[in-house]
Structure 1
Amino acid sequence: MVLFTKIVMFIIIISILVILHELGHFLPAKWFKTKVEKFYLFFDVKFSLLKKKIGETEYGIGWLPLGGYVKIAGMIDESMDTEQMKQEPQPWEFRSKPAWQRLIIMIGGVTVNFFLAWIIYSALLFNNGDTYIPSQSLKYGIVVDSIGEKLGLRTGDKIIAVDGKEAKRFNDALLDIILGDEITVDRDGQTVTFPITDEGKKEVFQTQGRNFMTYRSKARIGMVGDTSVAKDAGLLVGDEIVGVAGEDIAYWDELRPRIMNAAGTNVDLEILRDGKREAVNLNVPEEGAIGIVLDYQDLRKTDNFSFLGAIPAGFNKTIKVLTDQVRQFKVIFNSKTGAYKQVKGPIGIVEMMPPTWDWYFFWSFMAMFSVWLAFLNILPIPALDGGHVMFLLYEMISGRPPSEKVLERGQIIGFVILMSLMAVIFGNDIWNVIKRFL
């Protein structure tokens, strides 16, 4: 049932994005009286699952869920229908339209993707606000594991800046560090700047960045499980654990290893409750889970927005997501980081879906993926929208269109590039699945 939920969520998100992207091409094409021969969700290689012709356009659903397309008459595209191009141009064909109209048709898809993300982010900010952890609220700095240490970080560091830009949000600093070149921290009262090594980034990507850095906090209890040993021992929300087995502790990261080391035994805790120290005896289970959760609410801040305020905030969010995705390419194409091995295809994306239906994740992921599709499609690679835009801009600047032979060869080159990238992505997905059984 969990896998079914993940697959359904993924297919619905992709279907909405593909249909809206292709509508971005379809609507201006119809507006400029250009014939659209096909409008397909997913690819109909050899056959389609459903199809129906309405007017001059065949609408259908293919069986290969890797995108979709509209086939516009008189255009050299991935269908490589060169026979039509040998005929005399007709007034309803793409090639007969002015260059500015063709440009609008070609950028329609990425435009829709961008505006969709903007609308979703604005709606989410209006309804939910923007919750984050301000860096200035981390009075005790950060906690890092062995991978964080390979990046040069140390537990207790306070992040000041990444690549010279002030780190105002802890949430953003995580990604900025992976994509950045140098970090500036406050370490024991001293300002220290050091480079972020490719070797350290490689370790982060190999573990997919899990928990290499988190925030440091006092061992103050935010929740006690109803059927936990912590409740049986009398621990309460708001208690601060300041000692374990006769040893003083100050932070949550000092508590966890001591509890794990005491697994299967009784351990004496010293807590601070209402300003007074009290002793508590705790029976630690074999698995080391005692049923308490960190009190982190005082670290988080939520900015709320009015309807009008959410619109520019949603735009800024969209631009930031787009900027971060552009920055990722520098890391992905750096072979020393090994980041290209973590690029995910459909299998990997399905695994990212939550095990139960989550509407906030649904819309957040759709907005992020919509920006990603806009960015990928506008890349100047033949066979992508950006490739067509590149040739159109050349025509508008030079005053003469590229020859059909150039366009055909460009499509072939672009197709080879895309298929090679797809092979790498699917290869990563399959290899990651195989590794689990080795």
Structure 2
Amino acid sequence: MDIQGIIIGILQLLASLSILVGLHELGHLLAAKYFGVKVEKFSIGFPPKIFGFKYGETEYCLSAIPLGGYVKIAGMIDESLDTEQMSKDPEPWEFRTKPAWQRLIIMLGGIIFNVILGVLIMIAIAFTYGEKYIPIEEVNKYGIEVNDLGRSIGLETGDKIININGEKPKAFKDLLDPSFILNDDSYYTIERNGEQKKIDITSEFLQKYSSSDLKDEEKRFITIREDKYSFAIGAVAPDRNAGKAGLKSKDKVVKVNETTITDFASFQKMLHQNAGKELSFVVERDGKTITLPVSVAADSTIGVGIAYDIDYVERPYTFVESLKVGTETAFGVIGVQAKAYKKMAKGDINASDSLSGPIGMVMIFGTEFEAYRFWRITGFLSMVLALMNLLPIPALDGGHVMFLLYEMITGRPPSDKFLEIAQKVGMVLILCLMIFIFGNDIWKLIKANL
């Protein structure tokens, strides 16, 4: 990853976090103001403050540490630990004087806004991009291709997928769906040499699969057998041998040196066998046959991309369909995360291998801005942020919710002293987690460059 790529990745992460944190804290602010609670400060990022302005009773700030944000709500024990304010007589505009149900809504405001944002982003993606997938029948024409990770559970190249967890998959993407992989006792049923066989997803496999040491392409342990498909020329580099010889995008290679080309494997074989030589290409273009002399470089390349003749299913979603698909996709993220946490708790997934902090997230966003990827990751993170904030840990929204539910059930609130201690304990836990995640990121970076 070059310096420019790293900067682009960092800027994407900062933009995404600013959107997520800003809307999360806005949810708290609007809920508090609706119920007449004074909000003293609204900040994106943690101090020191870069700049800010005051509007009404609230100071709005942009702060230097872009790893979160906060709202300072009057009459509440929060990150500020403002015990001086809490020692005074309560005022009618303070958080602590409001009914428990109103305080609960204020605490849930950020989570609700993150859920709404995640759902809206996924709906917009569904409506904008529609659906495109490879049907399972197309995959099973030639069977699957597997890498070392796939072979570790017993899959083999050429296997045909009959079902997953007893149900026939609709599309290739279903074979790698994290929701399926993280299910308890998940398995593939495959056909090999005319016989069916069950392939279990093992805990050993999950440890490898969840490791952030694996590159994205290595985690795609099942692919389609592209080398078996017919193809056409894709993008052509004008300064490479193919471009100089006159090859164009969409040309279909029929023969190379009198050898008939039926699939990419036979084409690739000819290039490897004739590295450094000139070959005679017979191509079909606009219904006509053309012969072109093409020189093969020493590394067996000619400077073209490949467009495989794979039968995709592609269709747009109506707005109504997008509402359903986007909502299901968004809440599916929470389901996958919940399964992942469960697997971590059981020891099937190693937390240090699977957790990523800011450094890992920069790499996820990538070195180039791509609207689809940026918004999909942002929508994903919005749902994850909602789930994490709902965890019953003091100092998180979920901790406040837990204590408020206790008050609503028992009819008596925890003491201010208890809440103050719980807040301190929660802040220490979160700080330790942040140190662990940062250190884990740095250690992974060091290992990758050893």
TM-score range, shorter chain: 0.7 to 0.9
Residue matched to 1:220: 231
Give the distance between the partners of 2:369 and 2:25, measured in 1 at CA. Answer: 27
Name 1:354's counterpart in structure 2: 366
Change (3 A) 1:413 1:316: same
Identity of aligned residues (%): 39
- How many residues of Structure 1 are paired with residues of Structure 2 in the alignment? 434
Contact kept? 2:20, 2:114, Cα under 8 Å: yes
- Cα distance in 2 between the residues matched to 1:296 and 1:102: 57
| Per-residue CA distance 1:196-246 (angstroms, 9 max, x = gap) | 223333333331342422112314235252445456496984646899998
Q: Distance in 2 between matches of 1:327 and 1:94?
A: 35
Q: Could you tell me which of 167, 170, 175 is aligned with 2:169?
A: 167
- Decide which of 31, 36, 40 is 1:37's aligned counterpart: 40
Q: 1:266 to 1:118 in 2, by over 3 A?
A: same
Please identify, of 202-211 and 26-35, the stretch whose mean Cα deviation from structure 2 is larger. 202-211
Aligned residue number for residue 203 of structure 2: 198
Question: Given that residues 46 and 65 in structure 2 are in contact (C-alpha distance below 8 angstroms), is that contact kept between their aligned partners in structure 1?
Answer: yes
Q: After alignment, is 221-230 or 383-392 more displaced? A: 221-230
Q: Secondary structure at the match of 2:158?
A: coil
Tell me the equivalent position of 2:214: 207
Question: 1:322 Cα deviation (Å)?
Answer: 2.1
Q: From 349, 356, 380, give the equivalent of 1:368.
A: 380
Distance change in 2, residues 1:182/1:267 (3 Å): farther
Counterpart mapping for 1:250-399 below 5 A: 252=264, 258=269, 262=273, 264-266=275-277, 283-296=295-308, 298-333=310-345, 335=347, 337-338=349-350, 340-399=352-411
In 1: Cα distance, 2:83 partner to 2:271 partner: 68
For residues 209-248 of structure 1, what are the structure 2 equivalents within 5 Å?
209-211=216-218, 212-217=221-226, 218-223=229-234, 225-227=236-238, 228-230=240-242, 232=245, 237=250, 239=252
Q: CA deviation at 1:336?
A: 5.3
Give the gaps of 5 or more residues in structure 1.
none
Match of 1:123 in 2: 124
Q: Aligned letter for 1:390?
A: M
How far 1:52 sits from its partner (Å)?
Answer: 2.5
- The equivalent of 1:53 in structure 2 is 54
Secondary structure at the aligned position of 2:393 is classed as coil
Distance in 2 (alpha carbons) for counterparts of 1:422 and 1:52: 29
Unmatched 5+ residue regions in structure 2? none
CA distance in 1, matches of 2:278, 2:155: 32
| 2:217 match: secondary structure | coil
Q: Which TM-score applies when normalising by structure 2?
A: 0.85
In structure 2, C-alpha distance between the alignment counterparts of 1:33 and 1:357, rounded to whole Å: 42
Q: Is the 8 A contact 1:36 1:72 kept in 2?
A: yes
Aligned match of 2:79:
78
Distance 1:331 1:251, change over 3 A: farther
CA gap of 1:264–1:371, structure 2 versus 1, over 3 A, is same
State how far apart, in whole Å, the 2-side matches of 1:116 and 1:58 are. 24
Deviation, structure 1 residue 41 = 0.6
Map Cα deviations across residues 331-389 of structure 1 (whole Å, 9 max, x no partner): 44454544532422112211222333322222222211111111111112211111111
Give the alignment's TM-score, normalised by structure 1: 0.87
In structure 2, relative to structure 1, the CA distance for the partners of 1:242 and 1:318 (3 Å cut) is farther
Segment of structure 1 superposing worse, 381-390 or 326-335:
326-335
Work out whether residues 245 and 267 of structure 1, in 8 Å CA contact, stay in contact via their aligned partners in 2: no
SS at match of 2:89: coil
Aligned to 1:149: 151
Whole-angstrom CA distance in 2 between matches of 1:326 and 1:296: 37
- Give the whole-Å Cα distance in 2 for the aligned partners of 1:291 and 1:3: 27
Describe the shift of the 1:359–1:259 C-alpha distance in structure 2 as closer, same or farther (beyond 3 A).
same
Partner of 1:408: 420
Deviates most, 359-368 or 62-71? 359-368
Q: Is this contact kept in 2: 1:331–1:339, CA < 8 A?
A: no
The amino acid across from 1:61 in the alignment is L
Residues 1:183 and 2:188 are matched in the alignment = yes
Structure 1 residue 280, shift from structure 2 partner: 9.4
Equivalent position amino acid for 1:19 in 2 = G
Letter in 2 for 1:34: V
In the TM superposition, residue 112 of structure 1 has moved relative to its aligned partner by 0.8
Separation (CA, whole Å) in 1 of partners of 2:309 and 2:96: 59
- Distance of 2:57 and 2:327 partners within structure 1: 37
Partner SS, residue 310 of structure 2:
helix
Residue 20 of structure 1 corresponds to 23
Q: Which amino acid aligns with 1:119?
A: L
Q: CA RMSD in A?
A: 3.3
User: Could you tell me how far apart the structure 2 residues matched to 1:339 and 1:286 are?
Assistant: 45
Which residue matches 1:113? 114
